[in-house]
Amino acid sequence: MHNYCSNCLLPTSKPFIKFDKYGKCSACIFHEKKNSNRKNKINWIKRKKEFEKLITKIQKRKAPYYDVCVPVSGGKDSITQVSHLLNKGLRILAINIDYGIKTEIGHHNLSCISKMGANLITYRPDLKLHKKILKISFLKFGDPDLMSHCMLHALPIRIAIELKVPMILLGENAALEYSGSKSINEKKMSKQWFENYASNSGMTPIKFSKLFKIPYKKLKMYDLPTALELKKIEAVFCSYYFKWSSENNFKIAKTFGFKSLRKNTEGTYRSYVGIDEKINRVHQYLKLLKFGYGRATDHACEDVRNNKISRKKAIELVKKYDRVKLSNYFINDFIKFINIDLKTFNITLEKYKNKKIWQRNKKKLIKIKEIK
């Protein structure tokens, strides 16, 4: 049996990924659909027109405060999302969630949003509760971002509905872009999408609340509104209307003042991803331990699909960057933030290291079935 996609390097251990009879993964198949000019493939001109039509419809709604919301981290993607809405006479409200661990460059990049023609609000969750949630998520699920990820998707939609904003422009549809899932609505956010792709490990805020005895009313902002409430808003993915590409988004964001690091981000060879806060690096490292692929794999796969590098070069990059040890720069702040000691941190990493993927070796990560 094959262990990696025959075109890119995604492993069979990636959740939700599927392969065709030639060993090609569903993310690669979706990519071809996105980029090919053949009939029955995605018609981007038509999609853009559909977007313009939606905007006209939204403007006619004469909302009381804002016409459209955009969830923003200050990353290249969110700046690009906002850019698609500019110069249309729209009142844009960008919503950012700040968990208190933003980097300096993250603060700078977020400030670009209000300079480009959007209003910006930053929501700071109750850190007493949020740190408790992070700690449980890390220790019990090996994923510190478990509930943060839910909040990131749910809270901006809830705020938008409360403010009677008729539309929210979400980022990429991760289900399609990275897993090539066919069973979900490609245009709109849904309960099914949220439960599969926002709540990893199937752990929804309701389940989390019951399991760890945190009153659900305190977790409501982490959870998607009901289907009935969702009907009040056009919660659409930007990647449905515009061809999603990290590199293009980076180019667009730069024109609005977005800054990247001088060197590569730890765990990959790119310099412009995951730079706005620190916990994501811990999340990415755990993803590597659990499923056998990290950030460099994500990026190398994208570059292979775009014919920027060969599969052979991609393997080299993955071996060089994916398995780089998590540095103290991230560990120290993380353990201080959630109040655990280094020993507990290391034991937890070891607990989530997938023994079917990684060989026993204390110093280095060595794969049992190396990428070929």
* Minimum distance, C-beta of residue 42 to Zn ion, in the bound complex (Å): 18
Q: Give the Cα separation of 149 and 166 in Å (integer).
A: 23
Nearest to 66 by CA among 151, 162, 155: 162
Residue closer to Zn ion, measured from CB, 28 or 54: 28
Q: Which residues bind Zn ion (CB under 5 A)?
A: 5, 7-8, 10, 25, 28
Compute the residue count for the chain: 372
Residue closer to Zn ion, measured from CB, 66 or 293: 293
Q: Which two tokens stand for residue 363?
A: 């110093």
* Minimum distance, C-beta of residue 303 to Zn ion, in the bound complex (Å): 12
Contact indicator for 122, 116 with CB cutoff of 8 Å: no
Q: Give the Cα separation of 338 and 343 in Å (integer).
A: 14
* Minimum distance, C-beta of residue 329 to Zn ion, in the bound complex (Å): 32
Give the DSSP H or E segment for 95. Answer: strand 92-97
* Minimum distance, C-beta of residue 19 to Zn ion, in the bound complex (Å): 8
Which DSSP symbol is given to 182? S
Residue closer to Zn ion, measured from CB, 113 or 317: 317
Residue closer to Zn ion, measured from CB, 10 or 253: 10
* Neighbour count for residue 254 (Cβ, 10 Å): 15
Burial degree of 63 (CB within 10 A; 0-12, 13-18, 19+)? middle
Residue 236 three-state SS:
strand
* Minimum distance, C-beta of residue 148 to Zn ion, in the bound complex (Å): 28
Per 3-state DSSP, the chain is made up of helix, strand and coil in percentages (nearest 5) of: 50, 10, 40
CA distances in angstroms from 338 to 135, 326, 331, 333, listed in the order given: 6, 17, 11, 9
Residue closer to Zn ion, measured from CB, 318 or 335: 318
Which DSSP symbol is given to 274? S
Residue closer to Zn ion, measured from CB, 8 or 92: 8
Residue closer to Zn ion, measured from CB, 178 or 222: 178
* Minimum distance, C-beta of residue 81 to Zn ion, in the bound complex (Å): 26
Nearest to 246 by CA among 306, 323, 324, 182: 306
* Minimum distance, C-beta of residue 140 to Zn ion, in the bound complex (Å): 31
